[in-house]
Chain A
Amino acid sequence: MLGLNKTDSKFLLIVILLTLFTPFLMQPFAADSGLDQFNGGYPDLMQKVAIFGIFAVGFNILFGLTGYLSFGHAAFLGMGSYAAVWMFKLLTMNVIPAILLSMIVSGLLAVIIGYISLRRSGIYFSILTLAFAQMCYKMAYSVLTPITNGETGLQLSLSDPRILDGATESTSLPVTNIFGLAMNSSYKLEALNRVFTFNVGFYFCAVIAIIAFYIAIRLFRSPFGMMLRAVKSNQTRMNYMGLNTKPYTLAAFVISGMYAGLAGGLLAAMDPLAGADRMLWTASGEVVIMTILGGAGTLMGPVLGAGVIKYLENIFSKINESVLHSWFHWLPDGLEEVVVWVFARFTGEGWHLTLGLTFMLVVTFLPGGLVEGIKRLKKLTKRGGKPKDKLDAPDPEHTPTPSKHVV
C-alpha cells in the first residue's frame, strides 16, 4: 500500500484506525462510573497527543537515525507558532497557509542553526543547539518584541488586516478554520451513557499527523534513512567511502526542524496564541524525554512517548487533594491524611515527579523504551506466558543480534 511493504502498511492502517476511533476509545468509562477522571480529556488532550506526536516523530528523524541529540528543538516549535499567528493576523484565519508558513520559516531557521551546530558532534552539538534555542527565547522577549509581542505573547486582535478574509463587523475575534469549517466546532453523539465528541480540530491534527507519520515511515525505509543510520553507526567509514556526512545530517536536521515547525503551527491553529515560553529549554527537554521514553530510533516510539506523557500530564495534574480524599475516605482518619499527603506529592502540581520516576524506571529497565517493553511482552505471550528460563535465553554469542531500528 502506498509504496510500503506489508508490515508497514498494516502498521499504518492500525494507526489510522486508532486515530479515527479516538472519540470512542478515549471514553472507556461512563460519566457516572466514578472513574471518569481517567477518560482522556478529549478533544484537547488528543489534539495535543497528535501535535506532540508530530513533534516527536520529527525529532526522532534527527536523534533516532543520526544520533545527533538536539536540545534546542523548541526553538522551531515556537517559531512555527509565531509564523502561524502572523498568518492569521495578516492573511486569513484559514489554517492551511498558516501551517505552510510555519514549516517554511522553521525550516529556514533550522538551516542556519543546523549549519553551525553540525560542525560539532556529541555533547558539543547538544550544547550549541541549546544555546541557540535559549538565544531565540531571549530575543523573543527582548529585541524582537515588535514581532513577538514580548511577554504578553502574540495574539489576534480585531484590528488585524486579514487581507483574504475581508472586513467583518463582528465584535468578537474570529476563529481558525479550514475553508470555513471552524476548528473548535464539534459534533456530539450521546450513547451508552457517554458523550462522544467529534471535533474538527482533532481530526484536522490527526490527518496531518498521519501524513507526517507516513512520510516518516517512507524516510526510515529509504536509502536516505539508511545513510542517516550509517552516520550514527560510523562516520569514519562514511568518510573513507567518499561520503561527506554533513549534507545528510543537515538535511535530517532541517526535516526535523520542519516537523517541529508544523507542530508549532498546529498548536497555534488550535489556539491562536504564541508565546516565547514555547521556546524554553524545558520544551526542548520534553521532546527528548518523549522520544527516549517511547523508544528512540523506532517508528512507533515517539508517538507512544508523546501519548503517554500528554496523557499522564492531563490525568495526573487533574487529581487534586479533594479527589484523593474522595478516593481514600474509607481509610481511618489519621491514615487517610498520610496516604493523601503522599499521593498528593505525585499528582496535581507534583505530576512531574511521577513523570521523572516513570522515565527513570523505563530508561533503567527498558533501555529501548516502551517499544522494547511491548516487544518483550509479545515474546512472553508467544512462549505461552512461560516465565523466561535461563536456559531459554538466547546465547548472545551464537544468535545474531537483530538490527535495531525496526518498528
Chain B
Amino acid sequence: MGILEVKGVGKRFGGLQALGDVNLSVQENTVHAIIGPNGAGKSTLLNCLVGKLIPDTGSVTFDGNSVLGRKPHEINQMGISRVFQTPEIFGDLTVMENVLIPCFAKRDGAFRMHAYESIEQEPDIVNKAEQMLIDVNMIEKRHMTGSSLSRGDKRRLEMAMCLAQDPRLLLLDEPTAGMARADTNNTIDLLKQIKEERDITMAIIEHDMHVVFSLADRITVLAQGTPLVEDTPDNIKGHPKVKEAYLGETQEV
C-alpha cells in the first residue's frame, strides 16, 4: 500500500476526456515522477489530488484517508503541499513575508490572532524562514516583492514556502520550468538533500529529463489521460512504447 493511492480516476471537461482510468500508487519516502506530452492530463491529475477538481470517477486516498470531497485547506492539513505550474505566491508581499506565512501557520492551519506581537518577537520562526530562503538560494532577494521576481525565482520561492510546511507529500508541477540551468541544478541538489534529510514523499511532473532521471525512484508515463507504463528510470529509458508516445517526439534521453 502506497502513501498515495489513486484508483480508477477519470475526469471529463465537456467533450474532452482529460483523464481516462488512472491508477497510481506512490510509495512512502520515494520520488515518483509523472511524465508525458503536453495536454496528457498531468496537471489535471494533481488538481484532483489537492481538491481543486473533483474527479468524475474513482477514488484518491492519502495515508488511508479519502481526500475526495475535502476542501483544499483541509487536504493541505493532511500533509499535502503543492507547487503549481503557474506560480502561486503572494505578489504584494516581500519574499521574506511569503516564507514567513507558512512558518507562522501551524500545520493544522488553526486560526491564531497574533495581532499584538510583532514578527521580530518570534526569532525561531524568523530563523526558520531565513534558513528556508538560504536553502533555495534566495536570501539576498528577501526584500523584493513577490511579483517583481523572475518566473524561475517565483517557483523557487513557492518551493521554499511548501517546504517550510514540512509536508509529508510534496507535489511539484514542473518545478524547474523557466529556470536558468544553474538554478535547475541547485533545485535538483536541494530536492535530493531534502529527500535524504526528511521523511518526505514527492510526486514530480517535469519535462526536463535531466531533472527526472536525477531524482525519480519510479516514473509513470501518462499519455492522453491514461498511464502507459510505470517502472524504474532505467527501464523507462529503453521502453519502446515510451519512446513512441513521448520521448521520440520531444526529447532525447
Chain A residues with Cβ below 8 Å from B82 are 240
Given A226-B97, A230-B90, A230-B93: A241 in contact with B76 (beta carbons within 8 A):
yes
Contact in complex: A242, B93 (CB < 8 Å): no
Binds A, one of B1-9, B58-66, B117-125, B179-187: B117-125
| Closest chain B residue, CB of each to CB of A8 | B118
Given A244-B109, A401-B145: A234 in contact with B88 (beta carbons within 8 A):
yes
Contact in complex: B117, A242 (CB < 8 Å): no
A400 to B96, CA, bound (A): 14
- Cβ of A223 within 8 Å of any chain B Cβ, yes or no, is yes
Min C-beta distance of B197 to chain A, whole Å: 22
> Quick one: which of A218, A223, A248, A401 contacts B147, CB cutoff 8 A?
A401
| Closest chain A residue, CB of each to CB of B158 | A237
Contact in complex: A403, B73 (CB < 8 Å): no
Q: Which of A232, A247, A400, A402 counts the most B-chain CB atoms under 10 A from its CB?
A: A400
A401 to B88, CA, bound (A): 18
Contact in complex: B122, A223 (CB < 8 Å): yes
A295 to B99, CA, bound (A): 27
Chain A residues with Cβ below 8 Å from B161 are 237, 241
Contact in complex: B117, A233 (CB < 8 Å): no
A121 to B115, CA, bound (A): 23
| Closest chain A residue, CB of each to CB of B109 | A242
- Cβ of B16 within 8 Å of any chain A Cβ, yes or no, is no
A226 to B102, CA, bound (A): 11
- Chain A positions 358-407 with a Cβ under 8 Å from a chain B Cβ: 400-405
A142 to B121, CA, bound (A): 51
A205 to B117, CA, bound (A): 26
- Cβ of A5 within 8 Å of any chain B Cβ, yes or no, is yes
> Quick one: which of A219, A232, A243 contacts B105, CB cutoff 8 A?
A243
Chain B residues with Cβ below 8 Å from A225 are 115
- Cβ of A224 within 8 Å of any chain B Cβ, yes or no, is yes
A170 to B89, CA, bound (A): 66
Q: Mark B58-82, 1 if CB is under 8 A from A, else 0.
A: 0000000000000111101100011
Contact in complex: A230, B115 (CB < 8 Å): no
Min C-beta distance of A231 to chain B, whole Å: 9
| Closest chain A residue, CB of each to CB of B161 | A241
- Cβ of A221 within 8 Å of any chain B Cβ, yes or no, is yes
Contact in complex: B76, A404 (CB < 8 Å): no
Contact in complex: A239, B71 (CB < 8 Å): yes
Min C-beta distance of B138 to chain A, whole Å: 12
- Cβ of A48 within 8 Å of any chain B Cβ, yes or no, is no
A5 to B91, CA, bound (A): 25
A219 to B113, CA, bound (A): 10
Give the interface size bracket for B toward A.
35 or more
- Cβ of B107 within 8 Å of any chain A Cβ, yes or no, is yes
Min C-beta distance of A215 to chain B, whole Å: 8
Chain B residues with Cβ below 8 Å from A243 are 73, 101, 105, 109
Chain B residues with Cβ below 8 Å from A3 are 117-118, 121
- Cβ of A236 within 8 Å of any chain B Cβ, yes or no, is yes
A401 to B149, CA, bound (A): 10
Chain A residues with Cβ below 8 Å from B90 are 229-230, 233-234, 237
Contact in complex: B144, A400 (CB < 8 Å): yes
| Closest chain A residue, CB of each to CB of B97 | A226
Contact in complex: A403, B113 (CB < 8 Å): no
A243 to B141, CA, bound (A): 25
Contact in complex: B73, A239 (CB < 8 Å): yes
- Cβ of A251 within 8 Å of any chain B Cβ, yes or no, is yes
Contact in complex: A226, B115 (CB < 8 Å): no
Q: Mark B137-168, 1 if CB is under 8 A from A, else 0.
A: 00001011111100000000000010001000
- Cβ of B104 within 8 Å of any chain A Cβ, yes or no, is yes
Contact in complex: B114, A222 (CB < 8 Å): yes
| Closest chain A residue, CB of each to CB of B77 | A242
Given A241-B161, A400-B143, A402-B145: A229 in contact with B76 (beta carbons within 8 A):
no
A5 to B118, CA, bound (A): 9
Chain B residues with Cβ below 8 Å from A247 are 111
| Closest chain A residue, CB of each to CB of B119 | A223
Closest 10 CB pairs of A and B: A242-B109, A242-B76, A247-B111, A400-B144, A224-B115, A223-B114, A233-B90, A233-B92, A239-B72, A237-B88
A to B CB contacts below 8 Å, 28 in the list: A5-B120, A219-B115, A221-B119, A222-B117, A223-B104, A224-B113, A224-B114, A226-B97, A226-B100, A226-B101, A227-B104, A227-B114, A229-B92, A230-B90, A230-B93, A233-B92, A237-B161, A239-B76, A240-B50, A241-B76, A242-B73, A242-B76, A247-B111, A248-B111, A400-B148, A401-B145, A402-B143, A403-B93
Q: Beyond A223-B100, A234-B91, A247-B111, list 20 extra A-B contacts (CB 8 Å).
A: A3-B118, A5-B120, A221-B118, A221-B119, A222-B118, A223-B114, A224-B113, A226-B100, A226-B119, A233-B90, A233-B146, A237-B89, A240-B50, A240-B72, A242-B74, A243-B73, A243-B101, A243-B105, A400-B143, A403-B92
